[in-house]
Structure formats: C-alpha cells, structure tokens
Structure 1
Amino acid sequence: MTTATNAAAPTLIGSVQRALKLLDAVAAHADGAPAKQLAREAGLPLPTAYHLLRTLTHEDYLRREKGVFVLGEAVGRLALGGALQNRRSRLEKSLVHWRDAIGVPVYFALYHEGEIELVAVADTPYAPAVAEWADFRETGHAHAIGQCLLSQLDEAGRRDHLDRHPVQAVTPYSVRDKRSLLERLASTERMQPVVERQEYALGTVCAAIPITAGSGAATMAISLPLHQQGRLMPAIEQLRKGIGGLLGSLAFSISI
C-alpha cells in the first residue's frame, strides 16, 4: 500500500504542473487560443492537453468560446482572493502600527450588508482589547464602533438597523431607548470621534472615528480602562490625524 501511494504522488503533482502550464498558456492570449496551439505552447501531448482543458473548463477555470479557450471566472476569483488578502494584510499591519504608536488596542470595523462587522483588532497582553461578552452585532447601540457606524447611515438605515437589533440596556450606562439614541446619532458631527464610557463594558471607555467612501461606512476605534480615560481623547485625535486617507481605499474592498 505504501509503495502504491508513493508511486501515485509524482503523477498527481505532474498533473497539477501540466494544468498550470495550460493556464499560463491561455493567460498569454487575451482573445483565447485553440487546443492545438495551447498544447504546443505548454509542451504537452495533444490528448493530455484535451483532457486537462476539459477538466479545467468543467471546473470553470477556463471557458470555451468559438473554438478557443479563455480564462474562466474561477481564475478571477483566485486573483480577487489574493488581492483581498493583500489588502487585509496591509490593514492589519496598519492597526499594529497604530497600536504600538499610541499604546492602545485598535479596532477596524465595517457596516456590511446591514450588519456591524468587526474585521480586525490589534492588541497586546498589556493593552488587551475589550472582550466581546455581548454580541457586537446585536449591541451596536452600546459601543463606540456601532454608534460610529450607525452615525454614518441615513435616518432610514439607522431605523432599519434598530428595528432588527432593538436598543436594550447592556450596562447601567447604556442608552435607554431608540429615540434617545437616534437623537444622539443625529447630533453627531460629521467625521468627528464618537465616544462612549462604560456603555458596553464596565470599566472601559472607547472612542471611534468614521472612515467613509461613497455610500459605505467604516470605523477605526480604540479602548482604554476607565482609570486611563484621560488618555482617550488625545489618543483618538492622534489616530485621526495620523491615518488620513490611508485606510479609505481599503475599507470597502475587504470581503467579509
């Protein structure tokens, strides 16, 4: 059994290599190329090329149009996935930079398809992030991240969100009702930090700044223990001035 398995491994690897050569050959022709030409360019026997082309077409990596093969949608998804991963990596590095520069946990979140999505967090054992003890999506009214994202929506969007996720007391300091929250959100000045003190977690203060692009909404936020609340506004102002437009191009290209 071991011998058979070892013997099969090079064949499987070779098949992958041959398929990749065919994909490279197809990619070199914007308008596509026929099987015989692709086989020749990939250095493959024609029967082998036909078999792999059929397989790649079936899996949507290639598409056959008028006798020639062109790249299929699956290749585009692979490329998009790589680009998104690159953007996510850049985002995470940015959060780490500001975590270290300011000495506080830094959060990045989006409002995506009607929900609050916490995308990434950078913290340390000495400056830990706030534990998600109550679902962030359900309690957007209580934390700075949620309030900042909701403040960027229009009135209808806010009401829709709060109809799906009703306002409720999370701590004794939480906003008590929908009307009070809507009034607070309406009075929030555009592009100014949103601050909450112990509304989501006792002993914690948080601040968030909006990052907008078109009709989308995103935010970066920080948190501190209550006894360090004097650092909150200087820290969020340092973040606000420092990031500028750096993350605007990233915020809405990240797939959650």
Structure 2
Amino acid sequence: MTAANTSRGRSGSVQSIERAFGLLETMADHGGMMGLSQLATESGLPLPTIHRLVRTLVDLGYLHQEPSRQYVLGPKLIKLGESSARMLSSQARPHLTRLVDELGESANMAMLDGDRIVYVAQVPSRHSMRMFTEVGRRVLPHCTAVGKAILAGMPPDKVRDLLQRTGMPGYTDHTITDPAEFARQLEHAARTGYAMDEGEQELGVRCVAVALPEAPARLAISISGPVGRMTEDLVDRAVPLLTTVGRALSDDLR
C-alpha cells in the first residue's frame, strides 16, 4: 500500500504526518539514501508533495541532502532510535527470559535497520560457556538466522536490492555467498516459519530464529549456542516456543 493510499485509509489521521513518516520508513527500507524521483515512485505521492515534505524533514534535521542531491536519514533520528531501542529491550526481556529458562541457551531480539541487522535485546544463557552478542551490534543480514527470518517475509525484489547494496561477503566457510542458494534458504524459512545460522557468522555457533508477526518493525527473536549443545532435538523444541513467544511479544509491542 502506498503512502497516499494509507493516508486516505485511516479516519481522524493527520495526512501530512502519516506521509512524512511513510517517507522516512521508505528511505530506511532502501538503505537510508534516496532521490526525490525515487521517493515519488516508491510512495505513490506527487513530486511536489514529496519536495514539500522532504524540505520540512531537512529543516527539522530528520533528513540531510548530500552533494549528490540525494537525501539521507539525518542525525536527529539517532535520538529517537536510541529511545525506541531501550523501550524494545525492556519489553522484550521477560519474553527472552522465558526462552532462556525453558531452552537453556542465549536469547536475542534483533531488527532490520536500513540494510543492517541490529541487536536490540539479549538475555544470556546461564552456562559458563555461552554465546554473547552485544546489544547495539550491527551485522549484515545474510549471515544471521534473525536476518534470514526477517528477509523471508519481504518481497523478493526488495531482498535482491538489499543484497546488491550490501554484497554477500563470506565470514566463515559456511557463509552463503550465492544469491540463488540464499533465495532457496529464504523460501524454506518462509515455508517452515523459522531460519537457521549454521556457523555462517561465527564458527562453532548455531542459531535458530523466527520473525515477529505483525510487529511495528521488522523484528526477529532467536536462541543461539555452541554447536554441541544446539542439537536437532533442541531446535525442534525451540521452534514452537519461539513462535509462541514471538506472537506474545508482537502483541505487547502493538
């Protein structure tokens, strides 16, 4: 649905605000940098309307114009993002704690921010040997279970555009660097409802993730641990629990 259609579809809404936030979300979905004509095409709004909204967002510091005349997301958004991330972490923690209590391994929540996956919450395993991902860490989505789970729910053309912008660098011998094989994995994730990372970001680490349904952002939760403990039996137990916890967390965030 375009920004124009969305703004007409809600009674009592302020159209200009909906359109402005719609443009920011569109830019985030396209890597954080776009030109006016591309914004008009993607949003379905007239170019004069786009120009007026963009000029206002630049004046407010939420967008910045590059020498190339393209627009990028501005530094004013950092403050909003940091506050939002703290809120997400607080709401996610009880749900992630349930995963750790029942499965024994570290639990994470991550979101797609532009072209990167950023980890926004974690509850570590109680094992002395455990996987630790720093909250705030940013990684490419193609080598993570959370990234695959999120991308599996996106239109294939959007995924292709993202991968063209980021590339698919190999971090281990198991990282998928072939777009066709990656597309097959996303199809499997979409069909089964979960995605795996088989040592693709870090050797010896296995991870299983599910995307949050109907969440206000592109979010996923996961558990991760050493290959020796992340057995097939554990994964089989983890998937339905991750799905149940994901629905509950999604409901809390709406």
Cα gap change, 1:92 to 1:184, in 2 (>3 Å): same
Residues 103-141 of structure 1: CA deviation (Å, up to 9, x unaligned): 110011112344322111110452522457xx7423x21
Q: Tell whether the 8 Å contact from 2:108 to 2:223 is kept in structure 1 after alignment.
A: yes
Equivalent residue for 1:234, pick from 223, 233, 236? 236
Quote the RMSD (CA, aligned, Å): 3.1
In the alignment, what sits opposite 1:111? 112
For 1:239, give the aligned amino acid: L
Asked if the contact 1:223/1:232 (under 8 Å) is kept, the reply is no
Give the 3 Å change call, closer, same or farther, for CA 232–195 of structure 1 in structure 2: farther
Query: Residue 91 of structure 1 corresponds to which residue in structure 2?
Result: 92
Conserved 8 A contact 2:109-2:219? yes
Whether contact under 8 Å (1:197, 1:204) holds in the other structure is: yes
C-alpha contact 1:193 1:207 (8 A) present in aligned 2: yes
Q: Which moved more, 1:228-237 or 1:203-212?
A: 228-237
SS at match of 1:156: helix
Using the alignment, how far apart are the partners of 1:168 and 1:227 within structure 2? Answer: 26
Change (3 A) 1:103 1:243: same
Gaps of 5+ in 2: 1-81
Distance in 1, Cα, partners of 2:133 & 2:216: 30
Counterpart Cα distance in 2 of 1:94 and 1:206 = 17
Alignment of 1:196-215 (within 5 A): 196-213=197-214
Q: Which structure would you say has the larger Rg?
A: 1
Structure 1 stretches of 5 or more lacking a match? Answer: 1-80
Alpha-carbon distance between aligned partners in 2 of 1:84 and 1:173, rounded to the nearest angstrom: 31
Q: Aligned equivalents of 1:195 and 1:148: distance in 2?
A: 8
Report the equivalent of 1:164.
Answer: 165
**Residue 186 of structure 2 aligns to a residue in which SS?**
helix
Q: CA deviation at 1:240?
A: 2.7
Q: Which residue of 2 aligns with 1:128?
A: 130
**Structure 1 residues 101 and 217, CA gap change in structure 2 (3 angstroms):** same
Q: Does the aligned pair in 2 maintain the 1:168–1:176 contact within 8 Å? A: yes
Is the partner of 1:227 in helix, strand or coil? coil
**Counterpart of 2:234 in 1: which secondary structure?**
helix
Say whether 1:180 aligns with 2:181.
Answer: yes
SS at match of 1:152: coil
Give me the TM-score of the superposition, normalised by structure 1: 0.57
Q: CA deviation at 1:87?
A: 5.5
Percent identity of equivalent pairs: 20
Residue 224 of structure 1: aligned partner:
225
Inter-CA distance 164–215: structure 2 relative to 1 (3 Å threshold): farther
Task: Name 2:30's counterpart in structure 1.
Answer: none
1:62-118 per-residue CA deviation (whole Å, 9 max, x = no partner) reads xxxxxxxxxxxxxxxxxxx99985654231122123212221100111123443221
Q: TM-score, normalised by structure 2?
A: 0.57
Letter in 2 for 1:233: V
| 1:246 matched residue in structure 2 | 248
Structure 1 residues 154 and 94: alpha-carbon distance in aligned structure 2, compared to 1, 3 A threshold = same
Shift of the 219–246 alpha-carbon distance from structure 1 to 2, 3 Å rule, reads same
Q: Distance in 1 between matches of 2:243 and 2:152?
A: 20
Whether the 8 Å contact between 1:150 and 1:158 is mirrored in structure 2 is yes
Distance 1:195 1:83, change over 3 A: closer
Report the more deviating stretch, 151-160 or 238-247: 238-247
Aligned partners of 1:200 and 1:83: how far apart in 2? 26
